[in-house]
């Protein structure tokens, strides 16, 4: 007897970086899943396509891309159209689950040739501090108001786009899910290492952490993320000026999930020291790096921003700090002196967001489409 799948045909945008186990979930529970893994434009070496049928990966191949902004988005849209025509027939009902407006260009034309239901996954909100961001948010709102099904990565984004927080079969908040895989590690207060993962920007608070390391030689950090050459040189200069070269590992390259897991075994706490401001996109979203730390069993030290902060406090999964040395040092001492308590907290946090249970409930509406 053939296994019954919760969902039939899904086209999904995915990532090799942490993306809440969305691809893993739909690969397991969709009859057919086509996942288009779009890599960041910076240092782009190509995208990936993965095709799953009945839970099994049947095809994986590299897809051409470019660092040039026009070619990057041009190739993205061209291949997206190729995939929905190649892998889905006119008679198959298809759910396109996308977090980028590019998928919705020419929706009416797409629907003439394929039986598509669009689901908009709004994963961020960018305060309009520049003309380009203002235009981008206007574009997002245009499609948001015309697409029936929408998921929001946080209640703050939900409220921003609707005026109130909606929780209906058509519009609801769905945060990142977690697949907890506790990693055993040895800890003591005098051998404490930190981990940072994600794309490097000026709002990540790393410059503050470098200054902290200058006067705390017992600590070190591994930075697993990429940035452009100008910003990388800026960081290297700070590291050299603060005389913390031996305390910082920052190769400025992309690592696979398996490699990241291995690196994390020598770390004890994940850091997310964002600059605190309602004019920052982080304030509105559920940062992927926080859930990535949870997957690796790392307690979290985070500044008081983003929609995930209340959950970290609720489960005692880490410490929320101000961006000053006293607050950070107090948090480190609290975690390092009572590490089992925070390890249990991160396990409780991960159990609450366990992606199999969390997504089954959150995506119940997709089963009825």
SS3 367: helix
Domains and CATH numbers, the chain: 7-177+355-367 (3.40.50.2000), 192-352 (3.40.50.2000)
Q: Which residue has the tokens 């700070």?
A: 238
The mean per-residue pLDDT over the stretch 182-195 comes to 70
Farthest CA pair distance, the chain: 66
Task: Give the pLDDT of residue 184.
Answer: 66
**Beta bridge partner(s), residue 59:** 51
SS3 48: strand
Percent over 90 (pLDDT), the chain:
77
Task: Give the pLDDT of residue 182.
Answer: 65
d(CA 331, CA 278): 24
Token pair listed for 212: 């902290």
The mean per-residue pLDDT over the stretch 242-247 comes to 95
Q: Is the dihedral of CA 52, 53, 57, 63 positive or negative?
A: negative
d(CA 174, CA 151): 6
d(CA 120, CA 103): 9
Residues 70-89 pLDDT 10s: 999 999 999 999 999 999 99
Q: Is the pLDDT of residue 2 over 60?
A: no
The mean per-residue pLDDT over the stretch 308-325 comes to 95
User: Among candidates 34, 24, 20, 176, which has minimal Cα distance to 103?
Assistant: 34
The mean per-residue pLDDT over the stretch 293-321 comes to 94
Residue-wise burial string across 204-237, b where 16 or more C-beta atoms lie within 10 A, e elsewhere: bbbeebbebbeebeebbbbbbbbbeeeeeeebee
Task: Give the pLDDT of residue 1.
Answer: 47
The mean per-residue pLDDT over the stretch 167-177 comes to 96
15 against 213, higher pLDDT = 213
Sorting pLDDT into bands at 50, 70 and 90, what band is 185? low
């Amino acid at each position: 007897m053939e296994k019954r799948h919760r969902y039939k045909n899904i086209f999904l945008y995915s990532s090799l970086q942490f993306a809440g186990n969305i691809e893993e979930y739909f690969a397991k529970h969709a009859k057919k899943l086509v996942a288009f893994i779009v890599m960041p434009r910076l240092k782009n070496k190509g995208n990936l396509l993965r095709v799953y049928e009945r839970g099994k990966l049947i095809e994986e191949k590299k897809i051409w891309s470019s660092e040039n902004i026009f070619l990057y988005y041009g190739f993205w849209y061209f291949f997206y159209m190729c995939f929905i025509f190649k892998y889905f027939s006119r008679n198959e009902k298809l759910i396109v689950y996308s977090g980028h407006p590019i998928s919705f260009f020419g929706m009416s034309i797409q629907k003439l040739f394929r039986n598509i239901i669009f689901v908009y996954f709004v994963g961020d909100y960018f305060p309009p501090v520049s003309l380009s961001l203002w235009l981008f948010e206007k574009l997002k709102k245009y499609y948001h108001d015309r697409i029936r099904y929408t998921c929001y990565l946080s209640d703050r984004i939900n409220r921003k786009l609707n005026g109130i927080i909606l929780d209906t079969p058509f519009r609801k908040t769905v945060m990142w899910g977690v697949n907890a895989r506790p990693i055993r590690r040895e800890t003591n207060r005098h051998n404490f290492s930190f981990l940072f993962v994600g794309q490097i920007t000026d709002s990540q608070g790393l410059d503050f952490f470098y200054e902290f390391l200058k006067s705390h030689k017992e600590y070190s950090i591994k930075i697993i993320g990429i940035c452009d050459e100008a910003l990388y040189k800026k960081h290297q200069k700070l590291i050299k000026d603060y005389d913390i070269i031996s305390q910082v590992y920052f190769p400025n390259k992309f690592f696979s999930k398996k490699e990241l897991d291995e690196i994390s075994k020598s770390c004890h706490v994940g850091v997310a020291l964002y600059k605190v401001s309602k004019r920052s996109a982080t304030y509105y979203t559920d940062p992927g790096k926080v859930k990535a730390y949870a997957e690796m069993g790392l307690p979290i030290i985070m500044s008081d921003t983003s929609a995930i902060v209340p959950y970290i406090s609720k489960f005692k999964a880490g410490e929320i700090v101000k961006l000053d040395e006293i607050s950070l040092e107090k948090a480190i001492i609290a975690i390092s002196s009572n590490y089992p308590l925070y390890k249990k907290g991160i396990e409780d946090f991960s159990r609450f967001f366990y992606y199999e249970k969390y997504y089954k409930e959150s995506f119940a509406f997709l089963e009825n489409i």
